[in-house]
Each structure stands twice: as C-alpha cells, then as structure tokens.
Amino acid sequence: MIPDKASPGNEDLERSLLELPDDVALAKRKWSEASLHRKEIEAEWFLHFKGSLEKATVKEIECRAQLEKEVHDSSMEELIAESEYIRLYEKLLSDKTIAKLRTAF
C-alpha cells in the first residue's frame, strides 16, 4: 500500500526534514566550540606544568595535563557534543532515506 499525504507519519517526517538540518548545524557548531575549549584548557595546563616541572619531557608534561579534572571534564563535554551531532546527523540521513523510499513508488 502506498502511503498518501494523509498518512500520520508524513507530517512528522516533513517537519523533521525541515528542522533537522538546522539542528545538525547547531550541534556541529557546539561540538566545534567544545573541541576548541578543550584544546585551550589543555594548553593552559601544559604551560602551567611546563613552568613548574624542570627537566620534564613534553610527553610527561602532556600526561600530567591530561590527569587534571578540568581537562577531563572538557573532554567529556566534547564527547557529549560529538555524540549529539552524530545522533542528529544519522536521524537526518535516515529520514531522508525514508522520504526517498516513500516517493519512489
């Protein structure tokens, strides 16, 4: 059976196809901002440890910086933002596929 315009799922699908691209773009922006924030915090801690630790290698300083709670928290925020972007993007792709299949017949 071919669904017509009056099918209950069509309105949700159309609304989703109109709103999701903006949501995906916003989620990608939030992910980029979270990534930049994490890098800034890592750089601050790197410089802090570089000034306080004498005769430490770059790898040792990076490891110390990674152990800080603030760096860990910003990494988790970045991960959550990335996951939200991926979730919305996959939903957009699946809705586009469903729309194509509905109009194929």
| Domain hosting residue 77, numbered range | 16-96
Quick one: pLDDT at residue 1? 40
68-86 confidence digits (pLDDT tens): 999 999 999 999 999 999 9
- The owner of tokens 């596929």 is 97
Considering only CA atoms, give the Rg of the chain: 22
9 part of a folded domain: no
Q: How far apart are CA 95 and CA 12, in angstroms?
A: 10
Q: Is residue 87 in some structural domain?
A: yes
- pTM here? 0.79
**Tell me: the pLDDT tens digits for 10-36?**
788 888 888 999 999 999 999 999 999
What is the count of structural domains for the chain?
1
